[in-house]
Structure 1
Amino acid sequence: MSEGHGRGGTAVPSGVPRSGMDADGPRAGAPVVIVGAGPVGLMLACELAAAGIATTVLERALEPSAMPKGNGLVGGIVGVLSRRGLLRGQKGLHVIPAPRYSFGGLPLRLNPLRRNALRILPIPQRRLEQLLETRARATGADIRRGHAVTGFTDNGARVAVEVASAAGSYTLDAGFLAGCDGAHSFVRHRLDIAFPGTTGSQLVRIGHLTIPAGAARRTRNAVELAGGTRLALFQANHTAAGSLTVAPVSVLDRGAPNELYIVATQEPLGTQEPAAQISLEEMEASIRRVLGARLPVSGGRWLRSTVANSRLAARYRIGRVFLAGDAAHVFSAGGSSLNTGMLDAVDLASRLAAVLDGSEPLETLEDYHTVRHAAGEQALLQTRAQAALSAPGPEADALRQVLGGAFRSRNPHRYLGALLVGRPHGEGTRGRHGP
């Protein structure tokens, strides 16, 4: 279950200018300047450093956010991190092959032995950022927190990056600039790149809540409430009023109490607006409306509400400036944002390295837009399909039932054909009975 994404630059412990850089006037820069010290920006810095390329990462925030965001990685990036050795020696981090996974709330049977098997890495986003930042710093990345990009100029040969910090304003001279600064990307806005898409019609309320042990019994795949209600873990539990998702925090943090859960409700948006902070009473009322019954909860931390967006930037590259991660795309469902965004970083780093070492001409950087924009379109397509499957209402419920039956059958085409013929499911498919 994702808890949201966002970003904006990187770090230096004190904000004091590094050696050889004045508090004002042009500064010697790096071949690549990265805006945003989230997983995507830090992954880009790690990949470039591995190729021997110096980077400067600029992060607006003084400190990493304590707000829990993504709860794990799913997809190709998991194998990349493993091959890079980033998971070696990390206590409690284990890559899990997924023989089954949820697609818009429908269970999929997958073969974990195939080369392209889906793999999962349960990891809180904050720990992922720490892991990447440690590697990036160890390999020479210059990470500056409290340094905000206020402008930039691409003259075709270099990019002049204007930066503001507590120590004063300055300009970095860069070969290339990468905007990894989140869904509200300054870099994307400055380039005036269109960001078309849709805003969801559902309001999601989410937070960390305690469900007392006496009120629920946890099994391997579900939480069974005292009143007999059974809630499947890690997937939406649909009702006539919306949906409820429950996940134990201990899956990500083994030190967390067994009674602590990430709980999310989804209801029609109506006239409500998302809020960075909501009350426990609002969360309880939403749970009651969705379940049709009271769920005993207490505590309440990181309670907030959001509306899903589904958007894709029209361009990933203009000249010497690039977009990656949420700056280039946001998805409404499916846990694909980090996987797609971090794979953006891997692709961009390899292309920049090839140009900077002279093995490829500058023009080949356009291939980054071509390849990763197509990947973004594909992710947008499948996550919108998942959002449609996860929506409330009788049409989406019928879609889930029909496709769920097809997924469970040995021959989905024959299954759907039998529906069109009008043959009841209880009958055989060889036509021996009936007309």
Structure 2
Amino acid sequence: MSTQTAASVLDVLVVGAGPTGLMLAGDLAAAGVRVVVLDRADEPVRTPKGNGVVGRAVLELRRRGLLRGTGLRVLRPPRFRFGPLTLALGLLHGPLHVLPVPQHRLESLLAQRAARLGATLRRGHEVTGFEQDDDGVTVRATADGSPVELRARYLVGCDGARSFVRKSLGIGFPGVTSPDISRLARVTIPAGAAARVGDHIELPGIGRLVPFRPNRTAHGSITIAPADALDRSAPHDLYIVSTHEPRGDSDPTDELGDEELRASLRRVLGAELPYTTAFAARSVVANSRHAERYREGRVLLAGDAAHIFSAGGSAINAGLLDAVALGRTLATVLRGAAGQTALDDYESQRRAAARRTLALTRLQVALEAGDETGEALREVLGELLRNRATARRIATLIEG
């Protein structure tokens, strides 16, 4: 078994090389903290996931120089989707910052920064257990079939919604599971089969669909977006599509068959979507959950390990802001400028922020409901949002 001497004990061990873990590692390394990130995957995952960052985390990325020379642009949109409604924010000094960027590219930028600042990323390392005492945490992992043991003063679980770290601590993850299912894919629609007309996408035999927002039908909804609107290097005929409909007996899967994808599109649209190829097709059931606590002694949680949201656009922002707050607090504690009780401040601050984000995302889900309650919510809130000050206030809350 590989072990460490007392002199080589790490300051912080981070589990999970997603955006939250990599941001945290970079910030800690910048503060002179000895940090190692463990991730069970041998290579970075390139399966399309998030399409951008929305909120104050965009400013944190820019402040760290992560966007310099990348060609990525920060937007302050005059309009922004809130569930099925639109926030009209005005053309000048919009309160919301948006960074269109594929998640795999964001992770690459964060990993490069963390390594440049002195953090170590060990891929192919799956954590299998840990124990903590008054001085630190001993972590067991496997790599290439061999056991590895590491010792750190603190352990942070940034290992996603199914967090091994959170489960090992016995921390509950209460919340709500949606009765609906979403099927998502990248599809190629030939130029002659789709036309971008103003702010609509025209599909013969189907009609006009508004991009980047749910288009409601009698049997659910469909969202469609040109991939090159989010990634300028994407082919012009590539689209991101997702359907949303009652779950029934369906279970979510990371590998969705073409027949099931086409059947879902047909049910929702009442017609065939004229795509030729599809890839990265999967299905998900939305969850809205919040960890009962973010800290157990010297072990902490951040990102999806601590909270997951039922509406898109919030998870990466919340996770990156967790990393900013925790990185600052851990560095202060490790320097001896504050005691361990300062870590309670991280938990109270970020739990409050997550509660607000949960409320905002749950409201968006409620607005999507096809029943009379959803209709009433859309009618009343839609009227309130015609007031620009109200729309900008909601956007400020989303900003975080």
Output the TM-score relative to the length of structure 1: 0.86
Q: Does 1:184 align with 2:159?
A: no
Q: Which residue of 1 aligns with 2:87?
A: 108
Residue 127 of structure 1: which of 93, 105, 112 is its match? 105
Aligned-pair distance for 1:131? 0.2
Secondary structure class of the residue paired with 1:286: helix
Q: Does 1:94 align with 2:86?
A: no
Aligned-pair distance for 1:113? 4.6
Identity %: 51
Cα distance between partner residues in 2 of 1:164 and 1:316: 25
Contact 2:89 2:388 in 1 (8 A): no
Q: Which residue of 2 aligns with 1:316?
A: 294
Q: Does 1:117 align with 2:95?
A: yes
Q: Which residue of 2 aligns with 1:354?
A: 332
Label 1:202 to 1:219 Cα distance change in 2 as closer, same or farther (>3 A).
same
Please tell me the residue identity of whatever aligns with 1:147.
H
Q: Which residue of 2 aligns with 1:329?
A: 307
Contact 1:284 1:297 in 2 (8 A): no
Which runs of structure 2 are paired with 1:250-265 in the superposition (5 Å)?
A: 250-265=228-243
Paired residues, number: 388
Cα distance between partner residues in 2 of 1:222 and 1:174: 53
Which runs of structure 2 are paired with 1:138-153 in the superposition (5 Å)?
A: 138-153=116-131
Aligned-pair distance for 1:99? 2.0
Q: Which residue of 1 aligns with 2:345?
A: 367
Q: Does 1:57 align with 2:57?
A: no
Aligned-pair distance for 1:220? 4.4
Cα distance between partner residues in 2 of 1:298 and 1:286: 16
Label 1:240 to 1:401 Cα distance change in 2 as closer, same or farther (>3 A).
farther
Q: Which residue of 2 aligns with 1:433?
A: none
Output the TM-score relative to the length of structure 2: 0.93
Which runs of structure 2 are paired with 1:7-406 in the superposition (5 Å)?
A: 23-27=1-5, 28-91=8-71, 93-111=72-90, 113-114=92-93, 117-166=95-144, 168-227=146-205, 229-406=207-384
Q: Is there any run of 5+ residues in structure 2 with no aligned partner, and where?
A: 391-400
Contact 2:205 2:271 in 1 (8 A): no
Q: Which moved more, 1:220-229 or 1:300-309?
A: 220-229
Aligned-pair distance for 1:256? 2.0
Contact 1:103 1:334 in 2 (8 A): no
Contact 2:206 2:271 in 1 (8 A): no
Cα distance between partner residues in 2 of 1:205 and 1:152: 36
Aligned-pair distance for 1:24? 2.5
Contact 1:157 1:175 in 2 (8 A): yes
Contact 2:77 2:97 in 1 (8 A): yes
Aligned-pair distance for 1:112? 6.2
Aligned-pair distance for 1:157? 1.6
Cα distance between partner residues in 2 of 1:72 and 1:211: 23
Please tell me the residue identity of whatever aligns with 2:53.
L
What RMSD over aligned residues (CA atoms) do the two structures have, in Å? 1.7
Cα distance between partner residues in 2 of 1:42 and 1:210: 32
Label 1:170 to 1:409 Cα distance change in 2 as closer, same or farther (>3 A).
closer
Contact 2:88 2:388 in 1 (8 A): no
Contact 1:242 1:266 in 2 (8 A): yes
Aligned-pair distance for 1:222? 1.8
CA shift digits 1:44-89 (9 cap, x unpaired): 0011111111101000110111211100000010001111111011
Aligned-pair distance for 1:187? 0.3
Q: Which moved more, 1:291-300 or 1:32-41?
A: 291-300
Q: Is there any run of 5+ residues in structure 1 with no aligned partner, and where?
A: 1-22, 413-435
Cα distance between partner residues in 2 of 1:282 and 1:152: 41
Contact 2:3 2:150 in 1 (8 A): no
Give the number of the structure whose alpha-carbon radius of gyration is greater: 1
Q: Which runs of 4+ in 1 moved over 4 A?
A: 111-114, 409-412
Label 1:32 to 1:241 Cα distance change in 2 as closer, same or farther (>3 A).
same
Please tell me the residue identity of whatever aligns with 1:53.
V
